[in-house]
Structure 1
Amino acid sequence: MTTDLPRKVAAELVGTAFLVAAVVGSGIMAARLSPDDVGLQLLENSLVTGAVLVALILTLQPVSASFNPVVTAVEALLGHISWREAGLYAVAQVLGGTVGAVVANLMFELDAVSFSTQERTGAGLWLGEVVATLGLVLVVFGAVRSGRTETIAFAVGAYISAAYWFTSSTSFANPAVTLARMFSDTFAGIDPASVPVFILMQILGGGLAAALVHVLFPTADDPGGAT
């Protein structure tokens, strides 16, 4: 489907807003419904995140549905979109994510913005973010480069739900979502001081994934882009 740039930017903003609202909102709901069981909270949060990713990608993929600056940057690196487009999408993703976090806070009658105090730091968590982001980008562009874009929504939803559990960091894997989650002092939050290294590790994971995509999928059957 041919779409103009403003519509694509709007889709990235709206999609990322709903994604973050789902991540933060389900984290708040999980903490309230299962206050004494952190494992159950994580299960609830991961299932909702995976489900909403499937729904949002299926809905917005005909326009644009990356919702992630690292995925967008790899799209540009692989020549699927221009760097100008990538920059505009990234701005929309960060803005949308922030809106989503604020709306989630307000839905649960919390302060619109409350900076998280949940520290997430340490070599294990940083490695977890590299692994989480590498895997996500590989899943997306493995489908793109092999011409199976219709599978992306289900593959990404399943991967993120699983990565909540098999990575030590619970798979943020997205700079826009990471920035947004610092604005909610709730289950899904992240201390602002922990954000820069998380984002750096996500960029590293995305770069490694781009190189791996070149090795595993040297030719693109679908040059139209990831989303």
Structure 2
Amino acid sequence: MPSLSRRLVAEWLGTAFLLAAVVGSGIMAQKLAGGNVALELLCNTIPTGAILVVLILIFGPLSGAHFNPAVTVAFAWRGELPWAGAGLYILAQVAGGVAGVWLAHLMFELPLWQSSLTTRTGTGQWLAEGVATFGLLLTIFGCIARAPSAVPYAVGLYITSAYWFTASTSFANPAVTIARSLSDTFAGIAPGGVLAFIAAQLVGAALALMLSGWLWGRLTKQA
């Protein structure tokens, strides 16, 4: 197994690239789509799904390519990752997400320090985040149980789809949620909505964890 330092760098860098793609593509979409919100969302969706495939392929052999505290907690709960290591993974993911947002701002010559004004709240949004995270975790667990090599493609395709069938556009990731609160751009979420989103994500992850144990049993390798 790679050293802990290499795994933490992989989680930090992977999450940074993920957020740079999410926020950067949102900024570019706003610049080019002429106010067509549906087109902006499509332009935000495709790079996000695509970069996830790439990042999981290159960083999966190092750290498992979680890039997501909900995924990390799930694997720790299943005994696939020590809890101490899980805590360090989460710190690396959150720090990487913030770095990715700042990188996107710098690339597009926007103010580095921002706070989103985009309100995302309400029962529909919270349910959507629970559903999005539930589906993401089931995708990961199901592929690991039956087709491990398909994980990168299945995750990328799932998030691409969930951008459109969930009311929240599928954050499905506490680190992503925190980082996006620091960007007053297309991809942002107002800080006041962050805790409720994260709570819904963790509930969705917990439900997926319970169901996956019944469907496929104990995992045999790390995602």
Q: Shorter chain as normaliser: what TM range?
A: over 0.9
1:5-44 alignment, distance < 5 Å: 5-44=4-43
1:150-197 CA distance string (max 9 Å, x none): 111000000000000000000000000000001110000000001010
| 2:133 is equivalent to residue 136 of structure 1 | no
Partner of 1:145: 145
Distance 1:79 1:18 in 2: 28
| 2:213 is equivalent to residue 217 of structure 1 | no
| 2:93 is equivalent to residue 96 of structure 1 | no
Give the SS at the match of 2:81. coil
Partner of 1:84: 84
1:79 CA drift (Å): 1.2
Give the SS at the match of 2:61. coil
Partner of 1:127: 127
Give, as a single letter, the amino acid of the residue that structure 2 aligns with 1:189: G
Partner of 1:67: 67
Give, as a single letter, the amino acid of the residue that structure 2 aligns with 1:85: G
Q: Does the CA contact (< 8 Å) of 2:2 and 2:62 recur in 1?
A: yes
How many residues in Structure 1 have an aligned counterpart in Structure 2? 222
Distance 1:42 1:29 in 2: 11
Partner of 1:181: 180
Partner of 1:114: 114
1:87 CA drift (Å): 0.6
Partner of 1:208: 207
Distance 2:13 2:140 in 1: 20
Indicate the percent of aligned positions where both proteins have the same amino acid: 52
1:35 CA drift (Å): 2.7
1:80-109 CA distance string (max 9 Å, x none): 111111111000000000000011011101
Partner of 2:156: 157
Partner of 2:195: 196
Give, as a single letter, the amino acid of the residue that structure 2 aligns with 1:79: G
1:16-71 CA distance string (max 9 Å, x none): 00000000000000010003200000011011100000011111111011000000
Distance 2:83 2:145 in 1: 19
Distance 1:149 1:13 in 2: 23
Distance 1:185 1:36 in 2: 16
TM-score in terms of structure 2 length:
0.98
Distance 2:204 2:218 in 1: 21
Give, as a single letter, the amino acid of the residue that structure 2 aligns with 1:133: T
Q: Where do 5+ consecutive residues of structure 2 fail to align?
A: none
Give, as a single letter, the amino acid of the residue that structure 2 aligns with 1:97: G
- CA-atom RMSD in angstroms: 0.8
Give the SS at the match of 2:14. helix
List, as ranges, runs of 4+ consecutive aligned residues in structure 1 with deviation greater than 6 Å: none
TM-score in terms of structure 1 length:
0.96
